[in-house]
Amino acid sequence: MRLHFCLFTCVSFLLLASCFGRFVVEKNSLKVASPDSLKGLHECAIGNFGVPQYGGTLVGSVFYPKSNQKACTNFQDVDLSFQTKPGGIPIFLLADRGDCYFTLKAWNAQNGGAAAILVADDRVEPLITMDTPEEEDARADYLQNITIPSALISKDLGDKIKKELSKGEMVSINLDWREALPHPDERVEYELWTNSNDECGPKCDSQLSFIRNFKGAAQILEQGGYTQFTPHYITWYCPEAFILSKQCKSQCINHGRYCAPDPEQDFNRGYDGKDVVEQNLRQACFFKVANESGKPWQWWDYVTDFSIRCPMKENKYTKECADKVIQSLGVDIKKIDECVGDTEADVDNPILKAEQESQIGKGSRGDVTILPTLVVNNRQYRGKLDKGAVLKAICSGFEETTEPAICLTKDMETNECLYNNGGCWQDKAANITACRDTFRGRVCECPIVQGVKFSGDGYTHCEASGALRCEINNGGCWKGTKDGRTYSACIDDHTKGCKCPPGFRGDGVNSCEDIDECKENLACQCPECKCKNTWGSYECSCSSNALYIHEHDTCISKDASTEYSWSFVWVVFLGLAVAGAAGYALYKYRIRRYMDSEIRAIMAQYMPLDNQGEVPNHMTQGHV
């Protein structure tokens, strides 16, 4: 229940040193935002069920129930007070360790409405990984339905949080999985430690259903060059002293070198361990051959098809059946047979030898001792083996902005924008928000709406910019219509902000008030004028034989203005005639002067000017 024990310890004498190998507890950080006394980073261990938000964060407030503190019974009947209302801050249920399975606590928390469960350890010890129970009777069907993330925290941190809560403090926590997986580059390497055995109960069933569900995504990622996937198979060797025993002979191939436990744990019935090893080897060889032909993704088809066409239940778990599957996939059977080799011979098999070596932990990865195990970027994946959860983990293994399109689809979203708009800017009236859901969690980025770019910090402020900005929600500016006339405070000329149009005053955003030009003595002030304010402007009338000139805000007598204009036309006409004549005379005079000086200059090249009378004829012909 607590720790991963070697799946096969109980299976008997095939016990191996690696069962007590290195187990790595995958941690992520838990940041307390308030109160101040707890502020800072703390460690927690990711549980091996539920859906950790790989690549993302989750913010919430801690709730510690007054009763049912171990969360072993249903919260729906006992205590409803932590049900979150829509728009409320997500609740992290704090539960004490003990009395029941971790998974049951998580299931009760989830049904009570919690967004995550924090389990406080009940003893002082290094953090462990909370796992699903191994016992058959505990395999309730809710296991696969747990979707909230879980984390184990130390006894010390648990006690401190409880103390703050008892004082009435609100404890705000940020669970951060962004660094839970390394994400160094634009390709993710991942491996699945699996098994061809289809008769090992719920673990095998969930492993097979994962492979079937994940196949499509895996193949898209592999074909696009986004991932490098490698399947792996665990085998054990038979201790020297037992090699010739009946048990080792039925469970091992290659003279006790590679063994697997009996599928039914009954040596006299059904298939034996060695049948499983042999099919595992055939799957590994299939991958090798497919990989060499440049189509490693065919492995997913082979494993899926084999499980459907050659199940143990129907006594079809055989080489003949496997060969038919290989044939339909168009892969060379001869190459695979060669790779499998003679399983009765007392020789090493290079493939299985390499598999045994890679079982031992390297770098950030612990020993692989349980099946199935998923390793992403050499880090052991924690959480349920489910398409969405695994895809999220793989996606978070890419360096940001290099992730493939499949990572950015709708069903990968974290739905953080649903709570309080993710803390981002929004214009509720225009239904425009800066909150965008991604698998990495929400981002606050000013949006582009109908081709209009919004700019700003995305949190408190976004503003439409560019030529079409007034098209959307009038650029966030005031706009008013009255008596059939519309005025707007938005100007479509690449400028920012809002400005009330002439005749109005105000901030331009919420309101623009009409200016009463008459009352405020701004126009129409001549003694004979009569002023009338209108919305956005004013009307001015002069005495009966005068005309109001709006631009000059003055009245002009109708007669005077007529005479004035006629005499003005005459003056202009005469002026033009005089100027034209003078210009023409000046032009003529300038031309002649110019010609004269040109001729004189040319002639000066050939003779002194005082001997003009002897200019030769050909000179004037050739050059002028």
Ligand X SMILES: *[C@@H]1O[C@H](CO)[C@@H](O)[C@H](O)[C@H]1NC(C)=O
CB of 280 to ligand X, least distance (A): 15
Beta bridge partners of 120: 96, 153
Structure tokens at 321: 């059946």
Nearer to ligand X, 203 or 274 (CB): 203
Question: 599: Cβ–Cβ under 8 A, 6 or more apart, which residues?
Answer: 624
Nearer to ligand X, 293 or 597 (CB): 293
Nearer to ligand X, 431 or 605 (CB): 431
Spatial CA neighbour of 286 closest among 233, 215, 365, 343: 233
Q: Judge whether 28 and 177 are in contact, CB under 8 Å.
A: yes
Q: What is the distance between the alpha carbons of residues 82 and 71, in angstroms, rounded to a whole number?
A: 13
Nearer to ligand X, 18 or 291 (CB): 291
CB of 354 to ligand X, least distance (A): 9
Nearer to ligand X, 64 or 299 (CB): 299
Nearer to ligand X, 77 or 141 (CB): 141
Q: Give the CA angle between residues 23, 137, 74 to the nearest 5°.
A: 90
CB of 230 to ligand X, least distance (A): 5
Nearer to ligand X, 473 or 533 (CB): 473
Q: What is the distance between the alpha carbons of residues 113 and 384, in angstroms, rounded to a whole number?
A: 20
| DSSP letter assigned to residue 354 | H
Structure tokens at 216: 């499509």
**E strands present in 126-260:** 150-153, 172-176, 188-194, 227-233, 252-253, 258-259
| DSSP letter assigned to residue 365 | B
Phi, psi angle pair for 444, to nearest 5°:
-100, 105
Residue 140 CB neighbour total at 10 angstroms: 13
CB of 540 to ligand X, least distance (A): 46
CB of 80 to ligand X, least distance (A): 19
Q: What is the distance between the alpha carbons of residues 581 and 511, in angstroms, rounded to a whole number?
A: 61
Binding site for ligand X (CB under 6 A): 141-142, 145, 230, 288, 291, 296, 431
CB of 393 to ligand X, least distance (A): 21
Task: Please state the three-class secondary structure of 113-140 as a single string.
Answer: CCCEEEEECCCCCCCCCCCCCCCHHHCC
Structure tokens at 43: 């460690």
Q: Judge whether 539 and 525 are in contact, CB under 8 Å.
A: no
Question: 594: Cβ–Cβ under 8 A, 6 or more apart, which residues?
Answer: none
Q: Judge whether 524 and 509 are in contact, CB under 8 Å.
A: no
Nearer to ligand X, 397 or 508 (CB): 397
Identify the three-state secondary structure at position 399: coil
Nearer to ligand X, 103 or 197 (CB): 103
CB of 296 to ligand X, least distance (A): 6
Nearer to ligand X, 245 or 421 (CB): 421
